[in-house]
Amino acid sequence: MGGVTRLINMGSCKSINCVDIVIRLHSEKEMSQSKVMRASLDTSLLFLMLYFCFSSSVSSSLYSSSCQLKGQFHLNGMHKTGDVILGGLFTVNFISTDPDLSFTSEPQKSDCYGFNIIGFRVAQTMAFAIDEINRNSNLLPNVTVGYSLYDNCAQLGVGFRAALTLVSGQEEQVTLDENCVGTPPVLGIVGDASSTNTIAISTVLGLYSVPLVSYFATCSCLSDRQKFPSFFRTIPSDAFQVNAMIQILKHFGWTWAGLLINDSDYGFHAARSFHSDLGPAGGGCLAYTEILSRGDDPAELRRIVDVIRKSTARVVIVFANNFIVNLMKEVVRQNVTGLQWIVSEAWTSADVLQTPHFMPYLGGTLGIAIRRGEIPGFRDFLLQTSPDLHHNNTDGNSMVNQFWEHTFQCRFAPPPAGWVEAGGELCTGQEVIENVETDFLDDSDLRPEYNVYKAVYALAYALDDMLQCEPGRGPFSNNTCAQLQRMEPWQIVYYLEKVNFTTTFGDRVSFDENGDALPVYDIMNWVWLPDGRAKVQRVGEVKRSAFKGEELTLDEDKIFWNFESKQPPRSVCSESCPPGTRMARKKGEPECCFDCVPCSEGTISNTTDSMECTSCPEDFWSSPQRDHCVPKKKEFLSYHEPLGICLTTTSLLGTFICVVVLGIFIYHHSTPIVRVNNSELSFILLVSLKFCFLCSLLFIGRPRLWTCQLRHAAFGISFVLCVSCILVKTMVVLAVFRASKPGGESSLKWFGAVQQRETVLVLTCVQAAICTVWLVSASPVPHKNTQYQSDKIVYECAVGSTVGFAVLLGYIGLLAVLSCLLAFLARNLPDSFNEAKLITFSMLIFCAVWVAFVPAYISSPGKYADAVEVFAILASSFGLLVALFGPKCYIILFRPEKNTKKAIMGRGIGS
The residue with greater pLDDT, 167 or 108, is 167
User: What percentage of the chain has pLDDT greater than the value 70?
Assistant: 82
pLDDT confidence tier of residue 458, bands split at 50, 70 and 90? very high
Residue 857: per-residue pLDDT: 78
Residue 69: per-residue pLDDT: 65
Q: Distance between the two ends of the chain, CA-based, in angstroms?
A: 147
Torsion of CA 848, 842, 684, 675, to 10 degrees: -170
Residue 198: per-residue pLDDT: 93
Give the pLDDT mean for 347-363: 86
Closest CA to 70 of 1, 171, 160, 176: 171
Cα–Cα dist 462/493, whole Å: 8
Residue 422: per-residue pLDDT: 47
Instruction: Point out which residues pair with 795 in neighbouring strands.
Output: 784
Residue 172: per-residue pLDDT: 59
pLDDT confidence tier of residue 831, bands split at 50, 70 and 90? low
Check pLDDT > 90 for residue 791.
Answer: no
Burial class (CB in 10 A: 0-12, 13-18, 19+), 5: buried
461, 139 Cβ separation under 8 angstroms? yes
Closest CA to 169 of 348, 11, 331: 11
Check pLDDT > 50 for residue 7.
Answer: no
Strand bridging mode 340-343 / 315-319: parallel
Look at residue 642 and give its three-state secondary structure.
Answer: helix
> Residue 235: what residue type?
I
**What pLDDT digit, counting tens, does each position of 232-269 carry?**
999 998 888 888 999 999 999 898 999 999 888 788 88
DSSP characters for 669-692?
Answer: TTSHHHHTT-HHHHHHHHHHHHHH
Check pLDDT > 80 for residue 772.
Answer: yes
Look at residue 372 and give its three-state secondary structure.
Answer: coil
**What pLDDT digit, counting tens, does each position of 847-892 carry?**
888 888 878 877 777 788 888 888 888 988 898 888 888 888 888 8
The set of residues, in sequence order, having a beta carbon less than 8 Å from that of 540 and lying 6+ positions away, is: 522, 523, 552, 553, 554, 555
Check pLDDT > 70 for residue 565.
Answer: yes
Residue 652: per-residue pLDDT: 92
356-370, 587-601, 739-753 — which is least confidently predicted?
A: 739-753
Check pLDDT > 80 for residue 39.
Answer: no
Check pLDDT > 50 for residue 42.
Answer: no
Instruction: Point out which residues pair with 510 in neighbouring strands.
Output: 500
Residue 106: per-residue pLDDT: 44
Give the pLDDT mean for 816-836: 70
Closest CA to 130 of 81, 89, 68: 81
Q: Is the dihedral of CA 336, 337, 338, 339 positive or negative?
A: positive
The residue with greater pLDDT, 177 or 469, is 469
Closest CA to 146 of 127, 165, 161: 127
pLDDT confidence tier of residue 336, bands split at 50, 70 and 90? very high
Residue 173: per-residue pLDDT: 57
Q: What is the DSSP letter of 472?
A: T
The set of residues, in sequence order, having a beta carbon less than 8 Å from that of 29 and lying 6+ positions away, is: 38, 39, 41, 42
pLDDT confidence tier of residue 45, bands split at 50, 70 and 90? very low
Instruction: Point out which residues pair with 782 in neighbouring strands.
Output: 797
> Residue 705: what residue type?
L
Helices (H), 207-290: 238-252, 265-277
Instruction: Work out the mean pLDDT of the chain and round it to a whole number.
Output: 81
**What pLDDT digit, counting tens, does each position of 264-289 carry?**
878 888 898 898 888 766 678 999 99
Cα separations (Å) of 186 from 176, 779, 824? 19, 97, 129
Residue 181: per-residue pLDDT: 54
Check pLDDT > 50 for residue 53.
Answer: no
Residue 23: per-residue pLDDT: 38
Cα–Cα dist 627/607, whole Å: 8
pTM of the model: 0.64
Cα–Cα dist 686/663, whole Å: 10
E strand or H helix that includes residue 434: none
Q: Is the dihedral of CA 315, 317, 323, 325 positive or negative?
A: positive
**What pLDDT digit, counting tens, does each position of 98-107 carry?**
554 544 434 4
The set of residues, in sequence order, having a beta carbon less than 8 Å from that of 75 and lying 6+ positions away, is: 110, 150, 151, 158, 161, 162, 165
Residue 36: per-residue pLDDT: 35
67-71, 584-588, 657-661, 874-878 — which is least confidently predicted?
A: 67-71
